[in-house]
Amino acid sequence: MNFFQHQEAGSNPPLFLHKEGHRRAQNSRQVTLNPIDQMVADLRWEATPDSSGEFSMTSSAALEKLAKFQLRAPERYVLAAVAAGCSAGATQIAITIRPDSCRIEMLDWCGLQIESLSGLFTSLFSSDPGLTPLRYLARAVLGAAGLNPYYITLRLTDPEGQDAGCLRVTGNRFSKVNAWGKGRPGLCLFVQEHANAGVFQRLFGGLMGAQSPTLELLRANCSFSKTPILVNGKSIACPPRLGECKKILQVGEVLAGDWRGTPTMHTFPQQEHLSALVGWSPKPAWGCACGVVTHGVHYPLEPEAFGSAAARGVIWCDDVRLDLSLENVVEDEHWQARLKSLKELYASV
């Protein structure tokens, strides 16, 4: 049982208890948290509540504590950065991958202040929906830090192209630095690695025609994003593959799909926060798209999620809840209600 499932069960999770209350909860009930849930819970105890009841902790203090934990998949920081940009309303995500660095530009993510980034990690302790982009960004920085890079920078550029501040993370230090060169309006996350065997291996692999692992990760998880994503100047978008279909359900505005045959199309207006492209065929859905896209990142689903083992497709839904690892959809009542409404539409055609 993860943190969110525990919360849905109606009990107060350890995340919101004082230390003494937590001890009593442990004695009365067994609660299993994944490492990242436990990490944030431990940090929350050391944070202090402000006048609004939210918890606060300086980014330097949080980073020093978080650096002691190995994140489950730190290379997925690029996906968290994509989600940060998409959830903030960026008009495009431009990613430049080099053997020893990765630059992620979230274009036209404006309105941020350098002070907001200085308190970046405190967003992990807030439930404010308006801080969702910062929570994703915090996870991106933490993931990148787990790779032990030379340094990480966060640079803000205002709509006029003027520098609006730059922060650098080196080890467990979080400091303001002067930006150099001209930036594009929005937010840029830059990760510079140390010169090591891995860097030279990627450089040699690139010369031999091998694809970057980061590029493969982005293609596998972000190709259905409605926000344009460019990697080294090229779009990674591709149509959802539905295979041979007998009928197709389209809800709202979706990416153009790829299917075989002459299926019957059924179109419905977009539901609140949800659009979908779902196909049905008596043949298995092997090799076909089957998942949900939230804030530009694709998470796989079993075909039965659509109501039938013969169904396949993609749901775009930005109010899906993820666990704190940002790897799995939390199958709470809200998510089940979304799936139920989609199944009812599909059963009606």
Are 251 and 315 in contact by the 8 Å Cβ rule? The answer is: no
Three-state SS string across 62-109, please? HHHHHCCCCCCCHHHHHHHHHHHHHHCCCCEEEEEEECCEEEEEEECC
Structure tokens at 221: 């998880």
Q: How many CB atoms lie within 10 A of CB 175?
A: 11
Burial 119-136 (b: 16+ CB within 10 A, else e): ebbbbbbbeeeebbbbbb
The structural domains of the chain, with segments of one domain joined by +, span: 3-57, 74-235, 241-347
Contacts of 269 (CB under 8 A, 6+ apart): 251, 252
Rounded-to-integer distance, Cα 93 and Cα 187, Å: 10
Rounded-to-integer distance, Cα 295 and Cα 297, Å: 6
pLDDT in tens, 12-33: 332 222 333 333 333 333 334 4
Q: Is the pLDDT of residue 5 over 60?
A: no
Q: Identify the CA nearest to 72 among candidates 327, 299, 296.
A: 327
pLDDT for position 286: 62
pLDDT for position 32: 41
Which position has the higher pLDDT, 51 or 265? 265
Quick one: fold of 74-235? Heat Shock Protein 90 (3.30.565)
pLDDT for position 86: 95
Q: Residues in the chain, how many? A: 349
pLDDT in tens, 66-82: 654 445 778 899 999 99
Which position has the higher pLDDT, 1 or 85? 85
Structure tokens at 134: 């910062």
pLDDT for position 202: 56
pLDDT for position 190: 95
Residue type, 4: F
pLDDT in tens, 278-302: 888 777 656 677 889 999 999 988 7
Q: Identify the CA nearest to 173 among candidates 145, 144, 195, 194.
A: 145
Q: How many helices (H) and strands (E) does the chain have?
A: 10, 18
Q: What average pLDDT does the structure give for the chain?
A: 76
pLDDT in tens, 169-217: 876 677 888 777 778 899 999 999 886 646 555 555 554 445 688 999 9
Quick one: which H or E segment has residue 297? strand 297-300
Are 140 and 59 in contact by the 8 Å Cβ rule? The answer is: no
Rounded alpha-carbon distances, angstroms, from residue 32 to 2, 4, 6, 176, 324: 7, 11, 9, 38, 14
Rounded-to-integer distance, Cα 4 and Cα 88, Å: 23
Rounded-to-integer distance, Cα 104 and Cα 176, Å: 19
Bridge partners for 167 per DSSP: 154, 176
Are 120 and 141 in contact by the 8 Å Cβ rule? The answer is: yes
pLDDT for position 199: 57
Are 105 and 93 in contact by the 8 Å Cβ rule? The answer is: yes
pLDDT for position 41: 57
Quick one: which H or E segment has residue 203? helix 197-207
**Of 3-17, 85-99, 195-209, which has the strongest mean pLDDT?**
85-99
pLDDT for position 282: 72
Rounded-to-integer distance, Cα 201 and Cα 179, Å: 30
- The bridge status of strand 186-192 relative to strand 101-107 is antiparallel
Q: Identify the CA nearest to 78 among candidates 222, 239, 290, 186.
A: 222
Q: How many CB atoms lie within 10 A of CB 108?
A: 17
Rounded-to-integer distance, Cα 109 and Cα 89, Å: 7
pTM over 0.85: no
